[in-house]
Amino acid sequence: MRNPAEELAKELLARSWKLAVAESCTGGGLGARITATPGSSAYFLGGIIAYHNRVKRELLGVPEAVFAEAGAVSRPTAEAMAIGCLTRLGADVAVSITGIAGPGGGTPDKPVGLVYVAAATRHGVVSEERRISGTRAVVRREAALAALRLALAAVRGSTEAPQTAP
């Protein structure tokens, strides 16, 4: 695949869709990749860097029960972040990332490199789990690329992306 940010840009422009992002472990890296593409202001609304659970809860609407049951680094949290970003920023598609970039912070159940990405549209939400090996920089870079690819699949309506209920 060519540059996923450029591919996503083409798809968004063809549909006149707007994109928004909700990032945790990438700390703005996803937004930086999107805005590195010239003309991104035509389709990119912006994003929320929700590093702390309070921000995920208050700005993105992630229910406290999701944190209690699944944790901040989980598929349900990524999905709730994407849905909250979609509705609160008024986008046509929103993509989210939550994970453990390391080098610390991992546990046996949730090791460093565990990342969840989700993409939401008006038609539903898709999400996936990634296990990324490498340094903090590698985990953050690969998480952002995974999110771009998932957003692209969601926009295209790809059946390759796993489907979950919104």
Tell me the pLDDT tens digit for each residue of 3-19. Answer: 999 999 999 999 999 99
3-class secondary-structure state, position 134: coil
Q: For residue 52, what are the domain limits?
A: 4-161
Q: What is the CATH number of the domain that holds 78?
A: 3.90.950.20
Amino acid at 55: V
- Whole-number pLDDT of residue 76: 98
CB neighbourhood size of 112 (10 A) = 20
Residue 162 has pLDDT above 80, yes or no: no
**Residue 85, in any domain of the structure:** yes
CA distance 120 to 127: 9
pTM for the structure as a whole: 0.93
Counting beta carbons within 10 angstroms of the beta carbon of residue 140, is it exposed (0 to 12), middle (13 to 18) or buried (19 or more)? buried
**Residue 100, in any domain of the structure:** yes
CB 36 within 8 A of CB 110: no
Q: Total domain count for the chain?
A: 1
CA distance 6 to 2: 8
**Residue 166, in any domain of the structure:** no
- Whole-number pLDDT of residue 166: 40
